[in-house]
Amino acid sequence: MNRVLGIRRYPLKSAAAEHIAEAVIGKHGLDGDRTWTCLDADGTIGSAKQPRLWGNLLEVEAAFNPSHGNSGGEVAVTVPGGMAAAAGSPEADAAVSAWLARPVRLTRTAPQQPRRHHWWPDEPGMIPEWAADAEPGSEAVVDVRAGAADGRFFDFGALHLVTSGALERLSAEHGSEVDPIRFRPNLILDLAADPEPGRRIALGSDVVLEVSVPTPRCVIPSIAHGRTPADRTLLKTLAQHHRIDVPGFGRATCFGFYADVLAVGAVKTGDPVQVS
């Protein structure tokens, strides 16, 4: 029987994953996922899609406590070598600012028009057709898609998933094992392949998802994620083997997929997975 292999939450956008054994999935994704972001001095939100500015944020730990506080829970933030501090406190702002070596502020309130810095990889095939005017190896400031109704800081979908079968094939194509951490998924499923858009996935006894679109990839899979070192050659493997047509958008290099939540509930590692 196919099962849920891993659950990962990112309480602070672009910070390290919180590996958890169970979670509640609501209409807008995992409870506590991407509820906070860093706000830079220029008003942009923090995203490791510009590693020069935000790559070190991937080493910052963020832990969601759903039982604490009156606004859906508290997030504790810890920089390497530091003490935990509550997101939104002066102590957390000071610690993250010192770690990134520039002043930032943690917030759960999006600017009126959220924008972020984006680095376009220079590897051929890594720029999607809908960004055909982008210059390889250049930076841009781009608008961020409007978040979910409860104020999450998603780039696109509320849930991002990868499958064990797709990871195994990518590792074979790349010639070495590829850690799923590079793709920052919410769920890792024991499936032979990624389900096609429109397919439904039942998790455990309550949760039902519907596959929306494959996930376009950026520079993030190639950079360092904590103890997982940078691998600049991974983008070449992705572009060579995983450039596909994204329905309604055009060709892009993709890995993993986004899913919408049709039925909410609790999910835990080991839960059965059924695709229909």
* E strand or H helix that includes residue 168: helix 164-174
Calculate mean pLDDT across residues 49-76: 86
Determine the Cα–Cα distance for residues 26 and 6; give it in Å rounded to an integer.
Answer: 18
Q: Strands 115-119, 104-107: parallel, antiparallel or unpaired by DSSP?
A: unpaired
Calculate mean pLDDT across residues 231-237: 97
The beta strands (E) that lie in 41-183 are given as 61-65, 74-78, 85-86, 104-107, 115-119, 139-143, 159-163
Which fold does the domain 4-275 belong to in CATH?
Answer: M1 Pyruvate Kinase; Domain 3 (2.40.33)
Structure tokens at 249: 């958008």
Interaxial angle between packed helices 234-241 and 164-174, expressed in degrees from 0 to 180 and rounded to the nearest 10: 110
Residues 160, 261 contacting (CB under 8 angstroms):
no
- Residue 148 pLDDT more than 50? no
Q: Which pLDDT does position 152 carry in this prediction?
A: 87
Q: Residue 70 — pLDDT band, cuts 50, 70, 90? A: very low
Torsion of Cα atoms, 126 then 129 then 133 then 135, to 10°: 0
The DSSP 8-state label assigned to residue 222 in this structure reads G
